[in-house]
Structure 1
């Protein structure tokens, strides 16, 4: 956010990984990271307010499936963000 407010958008955000082209900073990246932080805070467990129970195999399957789904959503949103920024660069040139 600080770099965007200073007008520095040519910095690679590092969210594309090694296999993708560099992705510059934008307000979409800030919004995505804010949403991820909010979701992490919402998932934070309360201090023992819920009743504890034994974990069963279905809990493991559910967690694994949820993790794969969230990873897929993250990668899809990252690809959409990279495509949007690339189209915007092409339209400005």
Structure 2
């Protein structure tokens, strides 16, 4: 699973601050550089991006949370039997 976060290994100084700050432990140090090793648990909180002093971490996409609609798209319909009985009465 690819990560939305991008880590530029040329800019990464290997300080490890992002590893410590990541609340879900998605980022780890590999060969002295930060790597998103668990993208499936990354919540894209962007704490690591904000903390990175060298600018090595970026999230080129804006994450937008959309609330579900408050109005149900399901409409109540009378049962067929009731419709038939109404027609008979008319």
Q: Same fold (TM over 0.5)?
A: no
Larger strand percent: 2
Structure with max Cα Rg: 2
Q: TM-score scaled by structure 2? A: 0.24
Judging by fraction of residues, say which structure has more helix. 1
Q: Which has the higher contact order (CA 8 A, sep 6+)?
A: 2
Q: TM-score, normalised by structure 1?
A: 0.24
